[in-house]
């Protein structure tokens, strides 16, 4: 066997090994992407769940939200501040969902429930009034997305006491 034949065999073996390496890397990349999307969904779901936790564990929050639905003028100055920060916190988390979807870190079909939930909370005059005054505090991407959702038909109210006509405290 001469050196040319040995060199040719080496090139073939090298090409095969490069091909195997590329296939291996493609498989690893796909698994990594899947793991990243799963992790993102878990983080987003946890964030959104923490919004609900506030309503469930702080007895004074629900009456504040119910009162605010009529309009921000129905609130005292202190209530208006608290309501504003609670809404900002909740919608900052929704912004995270929308941005992660936009970046491709989470599949759109996994975000629709979170998005419908948030948008249903903007049905009431007070929450809509809050959005109009607060939207400058969010990214343009998110503000434009919410405004597009508001221009379309809003989802039915899905949270007892939010976006519904509620009587009494």
30-84 per-position pLDDT tens digit: 877 777 777 877 787 787 778 788 878 888 888 898 899 888 999 999 999 999 9
Residue 104 confidence (pLDDT) above 90: no
Residue 169 confidence (pLDDT) above 50: no
For the chain, what is the domain count? 1
Report angle CA 97, 102, 107 to the nearest 5 degrees: 70
Separation of alpha carbons 127 and 65, rounded Å? 9
Residue 51, domain member (yes or no): yes
Summary mean pLDDT of the chain: 84
Residue 167, domain member (yes or no): no
Averaged pLDDT, 79-106 = 91
What is the torsion angle, in degrees rounded to the nearest 10, for the CA atoms of residue 131, residue 137, residue 140 and residue 144? Answer: 0
Distances 108 to 24, 81, 100, 157 between C-alpha atoms, Å: 28, 33, 9, 21
- The reported pLDDT for the residue numbered 138 is 96
Residue 1, domain member (yes or no): no
Residue-wise pLDDT tens digits, 134-161? 999 999 999 999 999 988 876 666 666 6
Provide DSSP, 75-132: S-HHHHHHHHHHHHHHHHHHHHHHHHHHTTSS-HHHHHHHHHHHHHTT-SHHHHHHHH
Residue 16 confidence (pLDDT) above 80: yes
| Residue 15 token pair | 């090409």
Residue 19, domain member (yes or no): no
Residue 65, domain member (yes or no): yes
The domain of 83 spans 36-151
Residue 82, domain member (yes or no): yes
- The reported pLDDT for the residue numbered 14 is 85
- The reported pLDDT for the residue numbered 144 is 96
Averaged pLDDT, 130-134 = 94
Separation of alpha carbons 41 and 35, rounded Å? 10
Separation of alpha carbons 61 and 75, rounded Å? 13
Residue 30, domain member (yes or no): no
């Amino acid at each position: 066997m001469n050196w040319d034949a040995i060199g040719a065999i080496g090139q073939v073996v090298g090409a095969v090994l490069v091909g195997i390496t590329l296939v291996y890397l493609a498989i690893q990349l796909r698994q990594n992407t899947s793991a990243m999307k799963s992790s993102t969904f878990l983080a987003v779901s946890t964030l959104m769940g923490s919004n609900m936790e506030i309503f469930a564990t702080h007895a004074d929050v629900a009456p504040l939200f119910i009162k605010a639905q009529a309009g921000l003028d129905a609130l005292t100055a202190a209530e208006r501040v608290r309501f504003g920060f609670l809404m900002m916190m909740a919608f900052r988390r929704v912004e995270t969902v929308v941005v992660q979807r936009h970046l491709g870190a989470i599949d759109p079909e996994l975000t629709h429930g979170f998005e419908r939930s948030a948008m249903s909370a903007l049905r009431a005059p007070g929450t809509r009034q809050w959005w109009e005054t607060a939207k400058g505090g969010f990214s343009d991407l998110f503000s434009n997305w919410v405004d597009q959702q508001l221009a379309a038909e809003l989802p039915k109210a899905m949270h007892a006491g939010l976006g519904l006509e509620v009587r009494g405290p």
